[in-house]
Each structure stands twice: as structure tokens, then as C-alpha cells.
Chains A and B, each alone.
Chain A
Amino acid sequence: MGIYTKEISNISDKSSEQLFQFAVSDDHQAEETAYSNYSYWQSTWKSFLKNRVAVFLLALVLIIVFFTLLQPYLPGQKSPTEIYLDEQTGSQARNIAPGSEFWFGTNSIGQDLWSRIWAGTRTSLLIGFVVALVEVVVGIAIGAMWGFSRKLEAPITQVYYIVENIPTTIVLILMSYILRPSISTIIIAMCITGWVEMARFIRNQIVILRDREYNLASKCLGTPSYRIILKNLLPYLISIIMLRMSLAIPFAIGSEVFLTYIGLGLPVSEPSLGNLINEGRVLMMSPDLRYQLFFPSIVLSVITIAFYIIGNAFADAADPKNHV
């Protein structure tokens, strides 16, 4: 024992007074918590950029979207609906192979395929975006009510069982059969079936999350329900929502093709990718004319695959578990 007391007194002899000063209490500093540079959207974007294929496809989709909007105003473009006449014979310029005058050729009644494809892409993308948007908004609203409100749970579940039991295709066919075909009726028909999946997804997640401790605490502190939903629950679901939304776009475009095929699509005067593919399909038997099927099919496939891959990549990136 004696040795240690000696050493301790030795140390205190050596230490100077300056080393042991009272710290000043600073209210401002006390309020500061640990701070990191983390920003959710920045990290999401960073991890999204790591996926080269998805970035490339995103750029491609952006270019396509801008180009479809810009194309009618570019110089030297033909009208998508005008029927062109052959200068020498005066008859319709039917089925002209791709060349310098008609870049993608003409169709069977002499319309310019190049401008028809871009007009059709514009229509199809419009349908896709609107349907996806409605689906997400309605799906989240209903899903949130479904999961969060105990009064509404039973009735919505009953409605869900009924809607879910009918094959989607059948609803789509029935609705478009009853409504007159136009862009808005096609959008309505798709929205009627589209929200169901989204609502179920949101509902299941909310049921899992709503009784966690932090939400209980929030509720005890008197947070209103809408704020719990918007601030506590939905941020959890961003990656799922983004995924569903980007998958809804190719699905809507594909449904338009399907409806056109069975004869419930847009009128022929309204170019859409479905209409173009259908026109091309009729001419499939003669190999020289297959370009009329190829060009719209390629544009369609590129767009749908791009949205699918971008959606998956973004969902991965938006999941905070994948952020470093």
C-alpha cells in the first residue's frame, strides 16, 4: 500500500494546475447532438449511380421522353396522321420501305411510320404515367386508411376480397367494353384495377409498423394520425412505392397493347404503340413489311425493360439498409 500512495502523491506533484480546470457549461453546446453528413436522398442517389446499367437506361428513358415531346417541333417532321401520296402516280404512298424520305417507311395506307412511332410513344407514355400516378396516390390513400383505421378495416377488406377475386384482365376487358374507347376511358379502366395491389402492399406494411414502440410513443404524445402516417410510416415505404410505380408504367403500356389487340383499344386515328403493333401484326406474313412490326416493338421493349430495371435499381438504392 505504501508504495502506491507514494506514487500517487508523485503524480499529483508532477501535474500542473492547468490540466484540471472546470469545464465551462455551455447551453448551446449541450443542445448539439452527434451530427453526420448523412442525407437520405443523397445516399439513395449515390447508390443508384453505382448501378451502371440502370443509370444508362435512366438517361435513355429521359432522352426518349424529351424527344417524344420535342419531335413535332423539329424541322422536317411529317404529320403522324396525314396520308401521303406518291408524287408520280398520285395514289397513296403505301408500304414504302425505310429510306431517306420516310425514315421508318410508311404503313399500309401511306402514313409516315417515324412520326407515328413517336406520337404513339407519347400516347403510351402518357397513359403509363397517369395510370402509375393515380395508382400510387389512390393506393397509398386507401392502403393507409385500411391499415390505420380500425373502423374502415373490415369494409375495405370485404371490398378487397371481391375486387381481388376477379382476374384483372377480365375487369379491364369489361370496363373497356362498356366505356367508349379513348385515352381517358383506357386510363379509367386501368386505374379501377390498378390501385388494389398497391393498397394491399401499403396496408400490410402499415399493419406491421403501426404498433412499433416509436409509433406508440408518438401516439401517447398526441401526434395526429395523419402525421404518424406521413412522417413515421410512409418514409419506410418509399422504396416499395417507387418500385410499384415504376412497374406500373410498363404494365399500363402492355395493357394498352393487349386491349388494342382484342379490339377494345384506341381508335385507329389515335396512334399508340398498341395500335402500331397491331397494324404491323396484320402484315406479318410478308417478310418485306415486317419493319412495320419491328420498329414499334423495339421501342416498346426498350421502354418497358428500361422502366423495369430502373425501378428495381431505385428500390434497392432507396432502401436505407443498402446505404453505407
Chain B
Amino acid sequence: MLKYIGKRLLQSVFTLFVIVTIVFLLLRLMPEEGYLGAAADKMSPEQQEIYLTNLGLRDPILVQLGNFYTNLISGDFGKSITYRQDVPVLDIIADKFMYSVSFGLGAVALSLIIGVPLGILMAQMKGRWLDRLGTGYIVFVVAVPAMVYYLIIQMYITEIFDLPMLFDEYDPISWVLPLISLALAPTASYAMWMRRYMVDELNRDYIKLARAKGVKERTLMFKHVLRNAFIPLAQYLPATILFTIAGSIYVESLYSIPGMGGLLVDAIQRQDNNVVQGLVLVFSSLGIIGLILGDLAMALVDPRIKLGKGESVR
């Protein structure tokens, strides 16, 4: 087990290293005006050249890369150019991090509380009205771009229930709608997975045997089926948590929540290369951490999986 964790961590560090390098090189392909900021118009071409040289952008690419790594290791993500001039990127992100995390965790908790029981009920009532209703919901949420139903919620639910349209940190009621909006998609995917695995499990021989020998339906569900169906969910859980944080870009900027997603949209619109770079690195490392946690959770839940042997690509 320890050996597996070590191997997995090493692999992730390598992956992260490759991603960082790729991101760095890609961002060097960007137009250089992005580094000049608001002062660009006032500078003559010579001044621009000097400015860029001072930033180190005229050094050979390998030297730049080396500097970039040393800065990263010492926790220096560079300074913001246009978003909040000369404020370190790390400070800006740190301010926003907690909002994104609390919304992300809240949404995943909500979707687990609703999605898992919904999936179980749907599997039990397969083909009846609840199943159809749930399937309709899943189809809608999965197929229709999130933008459309987020806007519908923001437009109408706020009117009907007289809720605030924008986020206000000190007004707890304004947390409700962004949370619900954010939870819609993971709820659908949890319900879908849960239903599929429950239906698969219910068709197995050991369930038929248990039924035949007279095990109560309740015991059957909770003791046998649910435990087995939960294994694949355990693997997706950490990944969803982290991807929800990353995926809250819409919701955060729609409700003007001061989180990382909204920050990303702002930084892109103001062409702030350093902030974009920092956020991309944060989001990718979150993704990687999520996948590792998922693999470990899966290994802990399912004793049949012997890690390190017969690895397969998920």
C-alpha cells in the first residue's frame, strides 16, 4: 500500500512538472502586450523593449524556464499586471480560495445528499414515474449547456421567492441559489451513476440468491447492493469536489462571488497573463490531487483491488 502511494505521488509530481512546463511555454506564445499592462500606450517601442528585458522576457527560453521553476519553488507566482497592479498573484488567489472551496464543498455535499438517494429510489422504481422524472432531469442537466439553466434560475427563482440576485457575504440567504445552481450538475451525475450501478448489481446472481432465501428487501438494499454500488462513487468523490471548485466559473461570475472562477474570467478579460498562469496552475494541481485521492479512496473502500498489480487505465 505504502509503495503504491509513493509511486502514485511520484508519478503525479512528474505530471505536474510536465503540465507546469507546458503551461509556461504556451503562455510565452502569447502576445507580449499582455505583460505591459495599462502603461503600454504611453511607452515608446524602445521603452517597451527595456521593460520586457527587465522582466526577463528577452532571456533565452531555458534561462526563463529555470527562473520560473526557482520562483515557483519559493512560492513566487509573479505579480499581477492589470487585475490589481503589482500585487503578488499568490495573494490575490489566496483571498479568493476560501470562497471557492466553501461553495465547492457545499455543492458536493448537497449533491451527495440529494443525488445518491435519488439514484437509489430511481433504481428501485425502475420504469415508474419517479424514474422517468429523474431521467428527464438528468437528460436536461447533462444535455443543456449549464448557462441556460443558471440564467433561468437567476432570472425567475429570484423573482418568485424574492431572493437576492447577487451574492452578499453577510447575507446567508444569498448563498442558497449559487449553491443550488452549483449542485445541479453533480446531483445529476451522482443520481445517474447510482442508478446504473444499482440496476447492474440488482441483476447479479448473489442478489437473486439472497432474494430466494428470503432476505428482506431493506436489508438487501443497504447491506448488499448499496455497499457494492458505492465503490465506484468513492472514486469519483474527490475528483468531483475539486472539479466543482474549478467548474464554478459560471456561477461565481454570475452571482459575483469573489472566488477563483470569477477571478479567472476577470483576468482573461483584462489579459493579465500572470494571474491566468497562476490560476491555471492552481486548478491543474487541484485536479491532480483529486485524482490521487480518488484512487486512494477506491483502494480503501474496495478490498478486492490490489494496488500496484495489474494496473489498468481508468
Question: Could you give, for residues 241-255 of chain A, a 1 whenever the CB lies within 8 Å of some chain B CB and a 0 otherwise?
Answer: 000000000100110
Once the chains bind, are B30 and A177 in contact (CB under 8 Å)? yes
Q: How many chain-A residues does the 8 Å CB contact rule pick out?
A: 40
Contacts of B288 in A (CB 8 A): 165
Once the chains bind, are B146 and A254 in contact (CB under 8 Å)? yes
Once the chains bind, are A277 and B147 in contact (CB under 8 Å)? yes
Contacts of A162 in B (CB 8 A): 15, 18-19
A281, CB-defined interface residue at 8 Å: yes
A11 to B269, CA, bound (A): 100
Contacts of B147 in A (CB 8 A): 254, 257-258, 261, 277, 281
Once the chains bind, are A174 and B280 in contact (CB under 8 Å)? yes
Once the chains bind, are B287 and A300 in contact (CB under 8 Å)? no
Once the chains bind, are B264 and A262 in contact (CB under 8 Å)? yes
Contact of B291 among A165, A253, A281 (CB under 8 A): A165
A170 to B264, CA, bound (A): 10
Known: A167-B284, A300-B145. A293 touches B313 (CB 8 A): no
A168 to B286, CA, bound (A): 13
A175-220 CB contacts (< 8 Å) to partner B: 177-178, 200, 203-204, 207
Contacts of B247 in A (CB 8 A): 167, 169
Once the chains bind, are B144 and A301 in contact (CB under 8 Å)? yes
Q: Which of B83-91, B96-104, B135-143, B221-229 contacts A (4 or more CB under 8 A)?
A: B135-143
Q: In this complex, which of B148, B247, B284 has the most chain A Cβ atoms within 10 angstroms of its Cβ?
A: B148
Contact of B148 among A164, A167, A264, A301 (CB under 8 A): A301
Once the chains bind, are B268 and A305 in contact (CB under 8 Å)? no
A263, CB-defined interface residue at 8 Å: yes
Once the chains bind, are A165 and B19 in contact (CB under 8 Å)? yes
Once the chains bind, are A165 and B287 in contact (CB under 8 Å)? yes
Contact of A204 among B155, B291, B313 (CB under 8 A): B313
In the complex, how many angstroms separate the beta carbon of A60 from the nearest chain B beta carbon? 14
Q: How many chain-B residues does the 8 Å CB contact rule pick out?
A: 44
A116 to B211, CA, bound (A): 60
The prevalent SS among residues of B at the interface is: helix
A307-321 CB contacts (< 8 Å) to partner B: 307-309
A178 to B82, CA, bound (A): 17
Once the chains bind, are A261 and B250 in contact (CB under 8 Å)? yes
Known: A166-B284, A178-B30, A263-B268. A161 touches B11 (CB 8 A): yes
Once the chains bind, are A161 and B148 in contact (CB under 8 Å)? no
Once the chains bind, are A165 and B284 in contact (CB under 8 Å)? yes
User: Which residue of B is nearest A261, CB measured?
Assistant: B147
A161 to B144, CA, bound (A): 29
A173, CB-defined interface residue at 8 Å: yes
Once the chains bind, are B19 and A178 in contact (CB under 8 Å)? no
Contacts of B19 in A (CB 8 A): 162, 165-166
Contacts of B268 in A (CB 8 A): 173, 177, 262-264
Contacts of B144 in A (CB 8 A): 254, 300-301, 304-305
In the complex, how many angstroms separate the beta carbon of A121 from the nearest chain B beta carbon? 14
Contacts of B291 in A (CB 8 A): 164-165
Contacts of A301 in B (CB 8 A): 143-144, 148
In the complex, how many angstroms separate the beta carbon of A244 from the nearest chain B beta carbon? 14
A249 to B192, CA, bound (A): 20
User: Which residue of A is nearest B147, CB measured?
Assistant: A257
B contact set with A: CB distance below 8 Å: 11-12, 15-16, 18-19, 23, 26-27, 29-30, 139-140, 142-148, 151-152, 154-155, 243, 246-247, 249-250, 253, 264-265, 268-269, 276, 280, 283-284, 287-288, 291, 312-314
A-B contact list, 20 entries, CB within 8 Å: A157-B313, A160-B313, A162-B19, A164-B291, A170-B246, A173-B268, A174-B276, A250-B145, A257-B148, A258-B145, A258-B249, A262-B269, A263-B268, A277-B148, A297-B148, A297-B152, A301-B144, A308-B142, A308-B143, A309-B143
A contact set with B: CB distance below 8 Å: 157, 160-162, 164-167, 169-170, 173-174, 177-178, 200, 203-204, 207, 250, 253-254, 257-258, 261-264, 277, 281, 284, 290, 293, 297, 300-301, 304-305, 307-309
Query: Assuming A169-B249, A170-B246, A170-B284, what are 9 further A-B pairs, CB within 8 angstroms?
Result: A157-B313, A165-B15, A165-B288, A167-B284, A170-B280, A250-B143, A257-B148, A304-B145, A307-B143
